[in-house]
């Protein structure tokens, strides 16, 4: 069992709903990143760190523009890994990146660097099961847990196959669409979670469009927890590290009532 | 050439050698698998073939002529024949693909069409096909291209399409594809995405190439009738690469026929350009592994070409395979040389071609002096480029 999964399983078995916020690496700017990441991690059970990419096709405006800003500040994927390595880590970190930067660096080199930088999990949103076999194998060798994504359009046999390949948690995409905040949690979220439950005993976390404490609580009534991205990035941008900490404290509070 | 008979054949999972594949979010996988299944059933369905043939004849206006460019040949020093896709309905080869894909969309029960466009020709062809079948259509177009291909924006809107300018990144074709993919991820249940070139995740490169190969099937037969032999060289411009693959597939097994792809060298290969094969390397963009322009950390570069249709930092995986196997050779032509060739064709033949195939003509002018027979894919007409040309002329007269 991967260290990420062991960590999440021990929390889950203690009855805790899992909170995994996302922060774009080197955001809001490289010299303010450490403060932001520590604030985001405070109420979290694991943190997802995004690597900036020029063509983030699964991201809506909030995260896409955060990535553009980081790239403008001169921080590419390598710099983000290096910066993250220097920041004290109290919860596991998962690196989220599109595939081309991995391909460019080489799967072996990428996984080695991510592991050295202290990451224990990997999410690649544009790498479906069929194309990820070699990366999954390399990642496993470096102690990086694989987070498999399941979408509302995934048929049961694909969900089973994704779950089979997953060594971290199953990321249940709540709705069709890109990252971003929504007014309400999609009705499809509950159905996707149920379909994942039918296929696996792994932790199932709902992400994409989970925007506030109320939606997180609603999602976690059936799921094991939530991933929150755009709302966190926006809080960091508009209210600073302290604002993000307060936002996530509210989400944590909601989850702890379940 | 020893590798001549090893022409690309797509594998079941969409690989042309080490290029291709399906690098997309999980949300799109089911739709791509459905599309693949629908495509293989359509290909074996005589009713589909009949419907498509009917559209190609009566809507597109096929076959397009093969045209001996006599006065241009004198300039080139060889016999130059043009496959006149500029005379197809809506003014470019793009319509061959859109009528075929819209038939597929109807078979799948899709009720909404989206597309990306660079030069606007694919957008116009999609908008026209959607109007013909009464389907709503949204076209994503980089804001830079919206400005420089204004005529086509107006045409799309007149055809009933909604044109959405894309401001992100380089605000050109690459970013329009990103935005179209974002739309598709969101609306995949009812929407069919008509990709305009031999790019994207499997099965798109194969579908688009199959629908475009009529260009070469016609041209090869026409060439034999007109000259009694095959051309020595078949030249086509390459952005994403659909007009080139469409023209070439019929010639893959003719090992004596040289295939030359012409990319955009833009301001020069040491400056901004769009030559993904000539100057790029392996990477994953828009759902496929191919050759791309990128930096050391895998950030996709901003391409540049005076022609919006070649202003793209990637290329279809079939081209990457053709380049690697040696079956086709690739060169790059600058903005300046393309404009010169455009002018040469206009003044010698009375044809206003698009700036994209002007790159192919430039190569014919530059290297055709050995008296052979050359076939050039004239992929589209140039009305859309008039404003760009006027600006170009003005900038150089100052």
- Whether A158 sits inside 8 A of B29 (CB atoms) is yes
Q: Give, for B325, the enclosing helix (H) or strand (E).
A: helix B317-325
User: How much is the pLDDT for A75?
Assistant: 96
Chains A and B: how many Cβ contacts under 8 Å? 117
DSSP assignments along A119-183, one per residue: EEEEE-TT--GGG-HHHHHHHHHTTPEE-EEE-TT--HHHHHHHHHH-SS-EEEE-SSS-S---S
User: How much is the pLDDT for B398?
Assistant: 76
User: How much is the pLDDT for B371?
Assistant: 74
pLDDT in tens, B181-200: 999 999 999 999 999 999 99
- Whether A101 has its CB under 8 Å from any CB of chain B: the answer is yes
CA angle A136, A141, A144 (to 5 degrees): 65
Sort out which chain A residues have CB atoms less than 8 A from B297's CB and list them.
76-78, 101, 104-105
For residue A72, give the chain B residue with the closest CA.
B169
Among A80-94, B8-22, B26-40, B107-121, whose mean pLDDT is lowest?
A: B8-22
**Residue B95 structure tokens:** 């319509």
Encode B313-330: b = buried (16+ Cβ within 10 Å), e = exposed: bbbbbbbbbbbbbebbeb
Sort out which chain B residues have CB atoms less than 8 A from A54's CB and list them.
169, 299-300
Tell me, yes or no, if A9 is annotated catalytic: no
Predicted TM-score of the model (pTM): 0.96
Mean per-residue pLDDT, A24-45? 98
Is it the case that residue B368 has pLDDT exceeding 70? no
**Alpha carbon of B186: minimum distance to chain A alpha carbons (Å):** 4
Mean per-residue pLDDT, B44-66? 98
- Whether B181 has its CB under 8 Å from any CB of chain A: the answer is yes
Q: For residue A105, give the nearest of B26, B185, B298 by CB distance.
A: B298
Q: What is the pLDDT confidence band of residue B4, given thresholds at 50, 70 and 90?
A: very low
The one catalytic residue in A31, A42, A45, A48 is A48
pLDDT in tens, B317-356: 999 999 999 999 999 999 999 999 999 999 999 999 999 9
**Alpha carbon of B38: minimum distance to chain A alpha carbons (Å):** 17
Rounded percentage of chain A residues whose pLDDT exceeds 70: 100
The one catalytic residue in B83, B94, B110, B384 is B94
Mean per-residue pLDDT, B125-151? 95
User: How much is the pLDDT for B11?
Assistant: 75
Is it the case that residue B279 has pLDDT exceeding 70? yes
- Whether B12 has its CB under 8 Å from any CB of chain A: the answer is no
Q: What is the pLDDT confidence band of residue B148, given thresholds at 50, 70 and 90?
A: confident
User: How much is the pLDDT for B6?
Assistant: 53
Is it the case that residue A219 has pLDDT exceeding 80? yes
User: How much is the pLDDT for A9?
Assistant: 98
Mean per-residue pLDDT, A217-246? 97
- Whether A47 has its CB under 8 Å from any CB of chain B: the answer is no
The one catalytic residue in B179, B349, B379, B384 is B379
Is it the case that residue B2 has pLDDT exceeding 60? no
CATH 3.40.50.1100 positions along chain B are 16-56+94-208, 62-91+213-397
Q: What is the pLDDT confidence band of residue B382, given thresholds at 50, 70 and 90?
A: very high
Sort out which chain B residues have CB atoms less than 8 A from A68's CB and list them.
168
State the Cα–Cα distance between residues A230 and A220, nearest whole angstrom: 18
User: How much is the pLDDT for B53?
Assistant: 98
For an interface test with A, give the residue of B11, B297, B317 to mutate (most A CBs within 10 A): B297
Prediction ipTM score:
0.95
Tell me, yes or no, if B38 is annotated catalytic: no
For an interface test with A, give the residue of B164, B284, B294 to mutate (most A CBs within 10 A): B284
- Whether B186 sits inside 8 A of A176 (CB atoms) is yes
Tell me, yes or no, if B116 is annotated catalytic: yes
User: How much is the pLDDT for B320?
Assistant: 98
Q: For residue B26, give the nearest of A68, A105, A149 by CB distance.
A: A149
User: How much is the pLDDT for B8?
Assistant: 62
State the Cα–Cα distance between residues B175 and B167, nearest whole angstrom: 8
- Whether B182 has its CB under 8 Å from any CB of chain A: the answer is yes
Mean pLDDT taken over chain A: 97
State the Cα–Cα distance between residues B239 and A30, nearest whole angstrom: 37
User: How much is the pLDDT for B327?
Assistant: 96
- Whether A130 has its CB under 8 Å from any CB of chain B: the answer is yes
Residue B225: which residues within 8 A CB-CB, separation 6 or more?
none
Mean per-residue pLDDT, B66-78? 96
Mean pLDDT taken over chain B: 95
User: How much is the pLDDT for B169?
Assistant: 85
- Whether B297 sits inside 8 A of A60 (CB atoms) is no
User: How much is the pLDDT for B395?
Assistant: 92
Is it the case that residue B239 has pLDDT exceeding 90? yes
Mean per-residue pLDDT, A175-191? 92
For domain B62-91+213-397, give the CATH number.
3.40.50.1100
Under 8 Å between Cβ of B330 and B310: no
What is the C-alpha end-to-end distance of chain B, expressed in Å?
49
**Alpha carbon of B138: minimum distance to chain A alpha carbons (Å):** 17
Give the Å distances, CA to CA, from B193 to A95, B17, B35. 30, 25, 10
Sort out which chain B residues have CB atoms less than 8 A from A149's CB and list them.
25-26
**Domain B16-56+94-208 indexed as CATH 3.40.50.1980:** no
State the Cα–Cα distance between residues A131 and B171, nearest whole angstrom: 29
pLDDT in tens, B291-312: 999 999 999 999 999 999 999 9
DSSP classification of residue B299: P
Under 8 Å between Cβ of B374 and B80: yes
For an interface test with A, give the residue of B13, B26, B185 to mutate (most A CBs within 10 A): B26
- Whether A25 has its CB under 8 Å from any CB of chain B: the answer is no
Residue B234, SS3? Answer: strand
**Residue B373 structure tokens:** 């027979």
Mean per-residue pLDDT, A120-137? 97
Is it the case that residue B96 has pLDDT exceeding 50? yes
User: Cis peptide before B61, with omega less than 30 degrees from 0?
Assistant: no
User: How much is the pLDDT for B9?
Assistant: 67
Mean per-residue pLDDT, A40-51? 98
Domains along chain A? 3-256 (3.20.20.70)
From start to end of chain B, where are the E strands?
Answer: 15-16, 19-20, 66-68, 79-84, 112-117, 137-142, 162-166, 191-193, 233-237, 258-266, 281-285, 288-292, 328-334, 373-378
- Whether A159 has its CB under 8 Å from any CB of chain B: the answer is no
Is it the case that residue B3 has pLDDT exceeding 50? no
């Amino acid at each position: 069992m991967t260290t990420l999964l062991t960590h999440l399983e021990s929390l889950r078995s203690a009855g805790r709903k899992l909170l995994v916020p996302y922060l774009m690496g080197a955001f809001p700017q490289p010299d303010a990143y450490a403060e932001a990441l520590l604030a985001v991690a405070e109420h979290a059970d694991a943190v997802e760190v995004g690597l900036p990419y020029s063509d983030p096709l699964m991201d809506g405006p909030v995260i896409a523009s955060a990535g553009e800003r980081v790239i403008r500040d001169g921080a590419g994927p390598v710099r983000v890994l290096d910066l993250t390595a220097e920041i004290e880590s109290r919860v596991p970190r998962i690196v989220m990146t599109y595939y081309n930067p991995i391909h460019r660096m080489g799967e072996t080199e990428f996984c080695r660097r991510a592991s050295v930088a202290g990451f224990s999990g990997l999410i690649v949103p544009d790498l479906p099961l069929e194309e990820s076999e070699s990366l999954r194998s390399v990642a496993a060798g470096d102690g990086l847990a694989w987070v498999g994504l399941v979408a509302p359009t995934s048929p049961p046999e694909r969900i089973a196959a994704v779950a089979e390949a997953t060594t971290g948690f199953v990321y249940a995409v709540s709705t069709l669409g890109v990252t971003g905040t929504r007014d309400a949690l999609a009705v499809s979220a509950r159905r996707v979670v149920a379909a994942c439950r039918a296929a696996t005993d792994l932790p199932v976390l709902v992400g994409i469009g989970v925007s506030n404490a109320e939606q997180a609580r609603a999602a976690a009534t059936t799921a094991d927890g939530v991933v929150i991205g755009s709302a966190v990035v926006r809080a960091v941008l508009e209210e600073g590290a302290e604002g993000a900490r307060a936002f996530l404290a509210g989400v944590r509070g909601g989850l702890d009532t379940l | 050439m020893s590798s001549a008979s090893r022409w690309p054949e797509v594998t079941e999972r969409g690989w042309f050698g080490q290029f291709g594949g399906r690098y997309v979010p999980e949300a799109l996988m089911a739709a791509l698998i459905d599309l693949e299944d629908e495509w293989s059933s359509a290909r074996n369905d005589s009713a589909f073939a009949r419907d498509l043939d009917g559209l190609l004849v009566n809507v597109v206006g096929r076959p397009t002529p093969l045209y001996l460019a006599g006065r241009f040949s004198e300039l080139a020093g060889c016999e130059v024949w043009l496959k006149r896709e500029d005379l197809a309905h809506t003014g470019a080869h793009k319509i061959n693909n859109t009528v075929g894909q819209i038939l597929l969309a109807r078979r799948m029960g899709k009720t909404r069409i989206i597309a990306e466009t660079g030069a606007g020709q694919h957008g116009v062809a999609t908008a026209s096909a959607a109007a013909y079948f009464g389907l709503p259509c949204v076209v994503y177009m980089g804001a830079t291209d919206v400005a420089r291909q204004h005529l086509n924006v107006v045409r799309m809107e007149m055809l009933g399409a909604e044109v959405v300018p894309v401001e992100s990144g380089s605000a050109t074709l690459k970013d329009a594809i990103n935005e179209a993919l974002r739309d598709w991820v969101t609306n995949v249940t009812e929407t069919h995405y008509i990709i305009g070139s031999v790019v994207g995740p499997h099965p798109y490169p194969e579908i688009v190439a199959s629908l475009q190969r009529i260009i070469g099937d016609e041209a090869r037969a026409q060439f034999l009738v007109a000259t009694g032999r095959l051309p020595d060289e078949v030249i086509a411009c390459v952005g994403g690469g659909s007009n080139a693959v469409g023209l070439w597939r019929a010639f893959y097994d003719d090992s004596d026929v040289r295939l030359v792809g012409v990319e955009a060298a833009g301001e020069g290969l040491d400056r901004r350009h769009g030559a993904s094969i000539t100057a790029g390397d392996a990477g994953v963009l828009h759902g496929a592994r191919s050759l791309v322009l990128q930096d050391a950390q895998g950030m996709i570069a901003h391409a540049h070409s005076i022609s919006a249709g070649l202003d793209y930092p990637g290329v279809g995986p079939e081209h990457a395979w053709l380049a690697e196997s040696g079956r086709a050779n690739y060169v790059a032509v600058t903005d300046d040389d393309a404009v010169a060739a455009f002018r040469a064709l206009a003044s010698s033949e009375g044809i206003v071609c698009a700036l994209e195939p002007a790159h192919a003509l430039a190569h014919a002018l530059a290297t055709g002096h050995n008296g052979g027979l050359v076939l050039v894919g004239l992929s589209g007409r140039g009305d859309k480029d008039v404003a760009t040309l006027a600006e170009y002329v003005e900038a150089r007269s100052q």
